[in-house]
Structure 1
Amino acid sequence: MTLRVGRIPFLVCAPFFHDFLGRESEFKDVEFVDGAPSAHCAGLKEGSIHLSPASSITFAQKPGAFVLAPDICTSCSFEVRSVKLFAKCPIKELSQKVVRLTAQSMTSVNLLKILLEERYGVKPQYCSGTLGKHDDACLLIGDQALEENERHRFAYDYDLGVLWQDWLHVPFVFGAWIVSKTALQPGLKDSLRRYLDATRESVEHFRQNPLAALDRWLARYPVDLPRPVIENYYSALDYRFTEDRKRSLSLFFEHATSMGLIAEAPPLEFLPF
C-alpha cells in the first residue's frame, strides 16, 4: 500500500519536505501530492491523501476522522509574515468595505473573519476571486503574501499571527500535521511512522543547515523574492507543537464554532508516535 502525502510547495513548508527532494526512491511506499492547503484540506476529507501539514481548520471540519502529529506544526514566534491582510484603510474602518479572500487556505480566511468580527467588531463585504482595483483590502498567504510585502502597494498591512497573539496571548497554529485514521490500518501504519520520523529529521536538518536546505528547495520551487528576505523569513517561524499552541488551536475552534464557521469544536486527538 502507498502512503499519500499532501506536500505544500510554499516556503513555509520547506523544513518539512526539503530532505525528501532527490531521495524519493528511498521512500518507495510514499507518494507526494503537491497542492495548496485548500487542496489538501479537500483531499483529506475526501480520502485521496492520508496526511498533510494542512490548514488547521481541516481537523474540525470532519470530526472524528483525523488525528494530529503531537509535536510538529506550522506556527510562529509572534509574526508569521506570510499570512497578511493588506488594506487601503485602517482595519477598524473596513465595515462594509470589500475584502478579497484567498482561496488557498480556509484557516486563514476563518481566522481573518474571527479577528475582524470578534476582535474589532468589523463586518466587511467578503469576496473571492482575483484582486480588483476597487477592492479595499485583500488576504494573502504563503509566497504571495511574502511577495506583496516587497511591493508596498497598500497603505496598511496586518500580520494575522500578530493580531491573534496580541489578542489572546498564544501563538497561532496555521497548519497542523493532520493524519487520516485510514493511515492507521496495518498496511500503512509502519510507513506512516517511518515517514513522520523522517519529517522530524528534515526539520532538524533545516535548523542545522538552512542555506543548503533552501538551495535544494528553491531549485525545485523557485520564488520571486530576494534571497536575504527568504532566509530571514524563517526567523519568524516555529515548528514545535507546544502546549500553548495546542491550547491556541482549541481556542481557534471555539471561536470558529461561536461564529458558526464550523459545527463544533472537537477535542484534539493525537497520534501515539
Structure 2
Amino acid sequence: MTLRVGRIPFLVCAPFFFNSVGRENEFSEVAFVDGPPSVHSAGLKDGSIHLSPASSITFAQKPGAFVLSPSLCTSCSFEVRSVKLFSRYPIEELSDKRIRMTSQSKTSVTLLRILLENRYGLRPEYLPGLAAESTDDACLLIGDLALEENERHRFAYSYDLGTLWQEWQGLPFVFGAWLISKDALSARLRPVLDDYMVRLETGIREFRKNPSQALDVWLAKYPVNLPRPLIEDYFSVLDYHFTDERKQSLSLFFKLAAQMGLVESAPPIEFLE
C-alpha cells in the first residue's frame, strides 16, 4: 500500500517538498499528488490522500479523523505576505461591499470572515472566485497569486491576514498544519509514514541551510512571476515550527469558527505520537 501525500505547488510549501521534486522515485512507497489546499482538504476528508500541509480548518471539519504533526506547521511572524485582502476601500468601510473570496483555501476564507465580522463588526457580501472582477470591491487571494498581486499595486488598500490576527489576538496564526489521516496509522503504513516525516524534517533543515539551491529546484518545476530577491526574502517571514503558542492560536481559531457556525464544533487537537 502506498502513502499518498498531498503536495501543494505554492512557494510557501517549497521547504516541505523541494527535495521530492524530480526525485519522486527515491520515495518508493510514497505517491505525491499535486493540488491547492482546498483540493487536498477534500482528499483528506474523502480518503484519497493520507497527509498534507493542508488548510488547518480541515481538522475541525471532520473531527476525530486526523492527527497533526506536533512539530510542523505553516505560520509567520506577524505578516505572512501570501494571504491578503486587497481592497478598493479601507477595511472599516467594507460592510455591504462585494468581496471575492478565493476558492483555494477554506482556512483563509474562515479567518477573513472571523476578522471582518468579529473584529470589525462588518457584514459584507461574499462571492466565490479566484480573483476580483471589475464589479468587486475587494478580493482575498492566497499563495503565489497573492504574492504576485502585491507587485501589481492595483488596489488602494491591502491587508495581511496574519498581521490582522496577531494584532487582534496577540498570537501568530497557523495557516497550514500537517494533517495526517488516522488511516495512515495502520500497521502497514505507519513505518512508511514515520520514515517520510523524518525525511520531511531533514528537508526543511536542508532548505534553511541553502535556500537558493533549493529554490532553483522548486522554481524549475513551479515557476512564479516574481523577482528572485523578493522570493528569497519571503522566507524571512515564514516559520514552520509548531510552537505551543501556535497550538494555542489554532485552538482559538477553531473556537471562534465554531461560535460563528463556520464549523460544527471546536475539537481538541490530537497529535501524531
TM-score w.r.t. the length of structure 1 is: 0.99
Alignment correspondent of 2:15: 15
How far residue 77 of structure 1 moved from its aligned partner, in angstroms, is 1.1
- Give deviations 1:24-65, integer Å, cap 9, x for gaps: 222110000000000000000000000000000000000000
Confirm or deny that 1:213 pairs with 2:238: no
- Segment of structure 1 superposing worse, 46-55 or 17-26: 17-26
How far residue 23 of structure 1 moved from its aligned partner, in angstroms, is 2.1
- Segment of structure 1 superposing worse, 260-269 or 129-138: 129-138
Confirm or deny that 1:48 pairs with 2:48: yes
How far residue 147 of structure 1 moved from its aligned partner, in angstroms, is 0.2
Aligned-pair identity (%): 67
Query: Residues of 1 paired with 2:120 and 2:77: CA distance?
Result: 23
3-state SS of the aligned residue for 2:252?
Answer: helix
Alignment correspondent of 2:155: 154
How far residue 232 of structure 1 moved from its aligned partner, in angstroms, is 0.7
Map residues 95-174 of structure 1 onto 2, 5 A cutoff: 95-129=95-129, 130-174=131-175
Map residues 72-111 of structure 1 onto 2, 5 A cutoff: 72-111=72-111
- Segment of structure 1 superposing worse, 80-89 or 14-23: 14-23
How far residue 22 of structure 1 moved from its aligned partner, in angstroms, is 2.5
Confirm or deny that 1:26 pairs with 2:26: yes
- Segment of structure 1 superposing worse, 129-138 or 35-44: 129-138
Alignment correspondent of 1:258: 259
Query: Residues of 2 paired with 1:131 and 1:177: CA distance?
Result: 30
Corresponding pairs, count:
272
3-state SS of the aligned residue for 1:176?
Answer: strand
3-state SS of the aligned residue for 1:194?
Answer: helix
3-state SS of the aligned residue for 1:213?
Answer: helix
3-state SS of the aligned residue for 1:186?
Answer: coil
Alignment correspondent of 2:180: 179
Map residues 185-196 of structure 1 onto 2, 5 A cutoff: 185-196=186-197
- Amino acid corresponding to residue 21 of structure 1 in structure 2: V
Query: Residues of 1 paired with 2:222 and 2:187: CA distance?
Result: 34
Alignment correspondent of 1:233: 234
- Give deviations 1:196-225, integer Å, cap 9, x for gaps: 110001111010000000000000101111
Which runs of 5 or more structure 1 residues have no equivalent in the other structure?
none
- Give deviations 1:135-170, integer Å, cap 9, x for gaps: 000000000000000000000000000000000000
3-state SS of the aligned residue for 1:9?
Answer: coil
3-state SS of the aligned residue for 2:74?
Answer: strand
TM-score w.r.t. the length of structure 2 is: 0.99
3-state SS of the aligned residue for 2:9?
Answer: coil
3-state SS of the aligned residue for 1:269?
Answer: coil
3-state SS of the aligned residue for 1:175?
Answer: strand
Which runs of 5 or more structure 2 residues have no equivalent in the other structure?
none
How far residue 193 of structure 1 moved from its aligned partner, in angstroms, is 0.3
Query: Residues of 2 paired with 1:21 and 1:141: CA distance?
Result: 22
3-state SS of the aligned residue for 1:158?
Answer: strand
Query: Residues of 1 paired with 2:128 and 2:71: CA distance?
Result: 34
Q: CA RMSD in A?
A: 0.6
- Give deviations 1:110-153, integer Å, cap 9, x for gaps: 00000000000011000012521010000000000000000000
- Deviant stretches of 4+, over 4 Å: none
